[in-house]
A and B are shown apart, each in its own frame.
Chain A
């Protein structure tokens, strides 16, 4: 199972990156070569592949949407 996550590229070497996601987690070895993302870029990652580079405004919007869903989910008795 994978999920689309948005995060910021922290380090890039040889097309692989460490990405810090909005959920607080980081992932090493993300393939950013397909979109040629550089350090500081916001990327949309699915599995271990960065699929899209997002602008700052879009990244902010996606972060807010993520936080809303997490908040609603945390209040759901079926999840707790």
Chain B
């Protein structure tokens, strides 16, 4: 693998990990390292070392990399995890199940077993699936039901935590207006709702946002525009998000019986 291919992978990963790290949800408290590298469009050992200490994201890259014979920071690997691509189809279900039981801190093994028993190969090591299945299984165990009043807050949290995408409709100094399809819940089933407008933050010093244009599709994580997507990436994030939603709906319907 060339160093530029690895740098591209490291930077894609850093762009999507940046906001949850800033908010204190994952990874070491060293956001300045990410900012410095993203604004300089350069990888580097200190950035890689920092990203390896994300307790969930990096284990996912290792899983996808190990089972597809690639370096965890090979561009296709973080792209598979955050956005989605064909590598997700190549990860064996038993590997993913064992990984989910053994390598993810905080996951309840019984929940993991329920997920894999219900879904088999429809469980994928995609960030959106991880987020939605975690919220959905925890929230229907003994916490809030997705069907009651608190369900709205759970669905809103899922929507912020998944990587979504939208089209830029207005460009400000540090905010973009985007049109995107929010995650919604109707009659106990998740789906993507009608497009709506929302404001997200962005950093114009991070490439390629210095040249962002109206109509550009961008990935969004915790109301932060992470990257400008290619048409192939838009097709993939759409495809895998819809598959993830189908899978989680299957989980929810099994819980309801």
Binding site for B on A (CB under 8 A): 1-6, 23, 25, 27, 31, 33-35, 44, 46-49, 51-53, 62, 65-66, 69-70, 73, 78-79
Assembly CA distance A78 to B53 (angstroms): 11
Please tell me if the beta carbons of B143 and A66 are within 8 angstroms of each other in the complex: no
Interface residue B27 (Cβ < 8 Å from any Cβ of A): yes
Q: Count A-B contacts at CB 8 Å.
A: 101
Assembly CA distance A33 to B72 (angstroms): 38
Interface size class of B (residues with CB under 8 A): 35 or more
Please tell me if the beta carbons of A2 and B105 are within 8 angstroms of each other in the complex: no
- B236 to chain A minimum Cβ distance, whole angstroms, is 18
Please tell me if the beta carbons of B144 and A51 are within 8 angstroms of each other in the complex: yes
Return chain A residues, CB-CB under 8 Å to B143. Answer: 34-35, 44, 51-53
- A2 to chain B minimum Cβ distance, whole angstroms, is 5
Binding site for A on B (CB under 8 A): 16-17, 20-21, 23-27, 29, 52-59, 62, 72, 102-108, 127, 131, 134-135, 138-139, 141-144, 150, 153-154, 157, 160-161
Nearest first, the 3 A-B pairs at minimum CB distance are A4-B106, A51-B138, A1-B57
Please tell me if the beta carbons of B56 and A3 are within 8 angstroms of each other in the complex: yes
Please tell me if the beta carbons of A51 and B139 are within 8 angstroms of each other in the complex: yes
Q: 26 A-B contacts, Cβ less than 8 Å apart?
A: A1-B20, A1-B26, A3-B105, A3-B106, A4-B104, A5-B106, A33-B150, A34-B150, A34-B154, A35-B143, A44-B143, A46-B161, A47-B20, A47-B25, A47-B161, A51-B144, A51-B154, A52-B141, A52-B143, A62-B106, A69-B102, A69-B105, A70-B105, A73-B59, A79-B53, A79-B58
